[in-house]
Structure 1
Amino acid sequence: MKNTVLMIGVACLMSCCTSIKLAIPEKFKQQATMQHVSGARGNKMSFGNFTTSKIRRGIHLSYPPWGWGGRGFLLENILLNQIGIQKNETVTKEKTKFRYTLSDGKNNVEVYADEKEMTKKLEYEIINSNSIFSNFEQLQQYKYIFSAIISADTTQGSKNWELLMTNIYDRKAENDKNPFTFIKQEDNGLATNGNDTIFIKPLSIKKTALSNGKTGQLPFKLLSGYELSTNDGVIAIIDMIDRNIWFYNELGAAEKLNIGAIATAIFARKVHDVKW
């Protein structure tokens, strides 16, 4: 329900001529080059001198569509039913896989990616009520894992990279007392080849540009992109809104190819879809 509210809010902002954009730090912008990703979140992408093959997708499973029963609350419901309330637990799972090749015109990398998501909720429902306020869901556990292998051409002396991004929440483990906690879309992670590591941090926007040129404040944060960095600093920014990749100008060809593979893998996801 929270995600639905967010999307309705975004639609309202867009219809009110509000321009929602990811702000690229000026200092980084002066040292970087932007490349727009054509076909982002589709089945084939291109940017600059980079192109992907057609993205081959496995079966996208979401089961069951209504959520299956978790723990039973027989004894509790005997008491709760006396005051007109029913308590249930639902568990939903979603997963998919995809693969493709990314080329810069000279070298290729193969990307093999896997997405998994699990959501567990408690639902309290008022018995025999048709009101839209007749039930209340409370998030108990959420787990999202996105992993990918970026397989390089070993004849060129390159190493394979492993990408891992996660978003995990557990009410019990975190001792969270807030009944209105919702799933945040801000997954983060890293990519490594065993020697070098790229850290991936989510970027969210709270402010936006209005049609009159002034800056407006959003009622909630929206995931808008990802910052890629090493111990030496930021090397790339992925703009999910305008579907751009900003590359640090000092990157070599092999580094740009690997970053391009990470970025296109993030754009290609279907389970964790930011829906810009």
Structure 2
Amino acid sequence: MKNTILIIAAACLTGCTSIRLTIPDAFRQQATMQHVNGARGNKMSFDHFMTSRIKRGIHLSYPGWGGRGFFLENLLWNKIGIQKSESVTKEKAKFSYTLSDGNHSVEVYADEKEVTKKLEYEVINGQGPFSGFEQLQQYKYVFSALIGVDTTQESKNWELLMTNIYDRKAENDKNPFTYIRQEDNGLATNGIDTIFIKPLSIKNTALPDGKTGKLPFKLLSGYELSTSDGVVAIIDMIDRNIWFYNELDATGKLNISAIATAILARKVHDAKW
């Protein structure tokens, strides 16, 4: 419910504010921006890059096993008109596509899995948005992708892994209002080189009068891709742009483009901008 409220609030804010990801000046001066046409759709293109039509498997969302019953506890809860239960939901999706820069191509095979466990307190015979309360117990999101290069490239296949994991008991979290933060992070590696992926969130936004205002919450706005030498790319989820470091060679730009398009193509974890 909290995530839904954040999305609705963000939509309302866009009507009176300009929400944009701020690209650091130091990186902007050394980078080139490419707008991704068809981002989050079934075919993307930018600059001289183009994906094939994205083949998607069945996108499933279903209740999982493991939800506990609270028979003895509910004997007490029911006396004050409340029913306690536990729910487990699972969601998964797969997709694949080819990305080409006109000379070389890579094959991307991706998989998303998400598991959410919550305690639910409902007012018996209650109606309306405030007739119940959910408390997050566990959350696990895993996004993995294999990026296979063609045989004409002097490069190795890349593996991409991004995760977002929360466990109330393990973290000894006492906050009853903890919600799922869309801040997955991870890395991509070919066994020799490694690219680190860090989420970017915005807290400030531009107001109609030109001044800067603060949002009441952070919003996922993009991802920073970096190596041990520094930032090599930034993915702007709001305006659907990719900023590439100018010193990247053709192979590096193709591999980073594969990582970026895979992130943009996701359906389970969708920033919904």
The TM tier, using the shorter chain, reads over 0.9
Letter matched to residue 50 of structure 1:
F
Partner deviation per Cα, 1:67-120 (whole Å, 9 max, x = no partner): 777011111111221222111000110001000000000000000000000110
* Mapping 1:208-227, distance limit 5 Å: 208-227=205-224
2:251 counterpart SS class: helix
The offset of 1:155, in angstroms, is 3.5
2:61 aligned partner: 62
Q: How many residues align?
A: 273
CA distance, structure 2, for counterparts of residue 80 and residue 254 of structure 1:
61
2:131 aligned partner: 134
Among candidates 246, 269, 272, match of residue 269 of structure 2: 272
243-252 vs 67-76, which moves further: 67-76
The offset of 1:14, in angstroms, is 1.3
Say if 1:35 and 1:246, in contact at 8 Å, map to a contact too.
Answer: yes
Q: Given the alignment of the two structures, is residue 163 of structure 1 paired with residue 163 of structure 2, yes or no?
A: no
> RMSD across aligned C-alpha pairs, in angstroms?
1.1
2:133 counterpart SS class: strand
1:80 aligned partner: 77
CA distance, structure 2, for counterparts of residue 48 and residue 15 of structure 1:
30
TM-score (norm 2): 0.98
Q: Given the alignment of the two structures, is residue 201 of structure 1 paired with residue 198 of structure 2, yes or no?
A: yes
1:257 counterpart SS class: helix
The offset of 1:157, in angstroms, is 2.1
Q: Structure 2 unaligned segments of length 5 or more: list them.
A: none
CA distance, structure 2, for counterparts of residue 139 and residue 234 of structure 1:
34
CA distance, structure 2, for counterparts of residue 194 and residue 69 of structure 1:
37
Say if 1:34 and 1:245, in contact at 8 Å, map to a contact too.
Answer: yes
Q: Structure 1 unaligned segments of length 5 or more: list them.
A: none
The offset of 1:131, in angstroms, is 4.4
Partner deviation per Cα, 1:22-64 (whole Å, 9 max, x = no partner): 0000010000011000000000000111000000000000113
CA distance, structure 1, for counterparts of residue 87 and residue 148 of structure 2:
38
Q: Given the alignment of the two structures, is residue 38 of structure 1 paired with residue 13 of structure 2, yes or no?
A: no
1:238 aligned partner: 235
Say if 1:123 and 1:136, in contact at 8 Å, map to a contact too.
Answer: yes
The offset of 1:130, in angstroms, is 2.3
* Mapping 1:14-33, distance limit 5 Å: 14-16=14-16, 18-33=17-32
Q: Given the alignment of the two structures, is residue 147 of structure 1 paired with residue 144 of structure 2, yes or no?
A: yes
The offset of 1:129, in angstroms, is 2.2
CA distance, structure 1, for counterparts of residue 9 and residue 204 of structure 2:
14
Say if 2:104 and 2:152, in contact at 8 Å, map to a contact too.
Answer: no
Write out the 4+ residue segments of structure 1 that deviate beyond 4 Å after TM superposition.
none
1:80 counterpart SS class: helix
107-116 vs 74-83, which moves further: 74-83
